[in-house]
Amino acid sequence: MSDKDISSTLIENRQFPPAKEFTASARLKPADLKALHKHAADDYEGFWAEQARTQLHWKKPFSQILDSSRAPHYQWFNDGEMNVSYNCIDRHLDKHADKTAIIFEGEKGDVRQISYQELHDEVCQFANSLKASGIKKGDRVVIYMPMTPEAVIAMQACARIGAIHSVVFGGFSAESLRDRINDAGAVMLITADGGHRGGKIVELKAASDKAMNAGCPSIQHVLVLKRTGHDISMQDGRDIWWHDLVNDQATQCEPEWVNAEHPLFLLYTSGSTGKPKGIQHSSAGYLLNAVLTNLWVFDLQDEDTFWCTADVGWITGHTYVAYGPLAACSTIVIYEGAPTVPDYGRFWKICEDHKVSVFYTAPTAIRALMKMGDDFPNKYDLSSLRLLGTVGEPINPEAWMWYHKVIGKERCPIVDTWWQTETGAHMISPIPGAISTKPGSCTIPLPGIIADVVNDDGESITEANKGGYLVIKKPFPSMLRTVWGDDQRYIDTYFSKFGGKYYLAGDSARKDDDGYFWIMGRIDDVINVSGHRLGTMEVESALVAHPRVAEAAVVSRPHEVKGEAIVAFVICNGERPVGAEAVAMVKELREWVGEQIGAIARPDDIRFAEGLPKTRSGKIMRRLLRTIAHGEEITQDISTLENEGVVLQLQGKA
Using CA atoms, how far apart are residues 635 and 623, in angstroms rounded to an integer? 11
Q: What is the pLDDT of residue 76?
A: 98
DSSP state of 428: B
Using CA atoms, how far apart are residues 484 and 185, in angstroms rounded to an integer? 10
Q: Mean pLDDT over residues 526-535, rounded?
A: 66
Of residues 371 and 641, the one with the higher pLDDT is 371
Q: What tens digit of pLDDT does each residue of 383-395 get?
A: 999 999 999 878 8
Using CA atoms, how far apart are residues 212 and 215, in angstroms rounded to an integer? 5
**HSE-CB of 530 using CA atoms within 13 angstroms:** 7
Q: Mean pLDDT over residues 86-93, rounded?
A: 98
CATH superfamily of 526-650: ANL, C-terminal domain (3.30.300.30)
Q: What tens digit of pLDDT does each residue of 307-354 get?
A: 999 999 999 999 999 999 999 999 999 999 999 999 999 999 999 999
Of residues 417 and 4, the one with the higher pLDDT is 417
Span between the terminal Cα atoms of the chain, in Å? 37
Segment of 3-17, 167-181, 397-411, 561-575 carrying the highest mean pLDDT: 397-411
Q: What is the pLDDT of residue 367?
A: 84
Q: CB under 8 Å to 21, separation ≥6 — which residues?
A: none
Q: What tens digit of pLDDT does each residue of 186-206 get?
A: 999 999 999 999 999 999 999
Q: What tens digit of pLDDT does each residue of 424-453 get?
A: 999 999 999 999 999 999 999 999 999 999
Q: What tens digit of pLDDT does each residue of 534-564 get?
A: 767 778 888 988 999 988 999 888 877 777 8
Give one word for 280, left, alpha or beta, with left for phi > 0 and alpha for psi -120 to 50: beta
Quick check: 2 pLDDT over 70? no
Q: CB under 8 Å to 576, separation ≥6 — which residues?
A: 608, 609, 610, 649
Which has the minimum average pLDDT: 70-74, 248-252, 624-628? 624-628
How is the beta sheet containing 331-335 ordered, strand by strand? 111-115, 100-105, 331-335, 305-308, 358-361, 387-390, 414-416
Q: What is the pLDDT of residue 538?
A: 74
Percent of the chain with pLDDT over 90: 76
**Exposed (0-12), middle (13-18) or buried (19+): which is 465, by Cβ within 10 Å?**
middle
Element (H, E) at 201: strand 200-202
What phi and psi, each to the nearest 5 degrees, are found at residue 319?
-80, -30
Q: What is the mean pLDDT of the chain?
A: 92
Q: What is the pLDDT of residue 85?
A: 98
Q: Mean pLDDT over residues 127-151, rounded?
A: 98
| pTM: predicted TM-score of the whole model, two decimal places | 0.86
Quick check: 624 pLDDT over 90? no
Quick check: 598 pLDDT over 80? no
DSSP state of 16: B
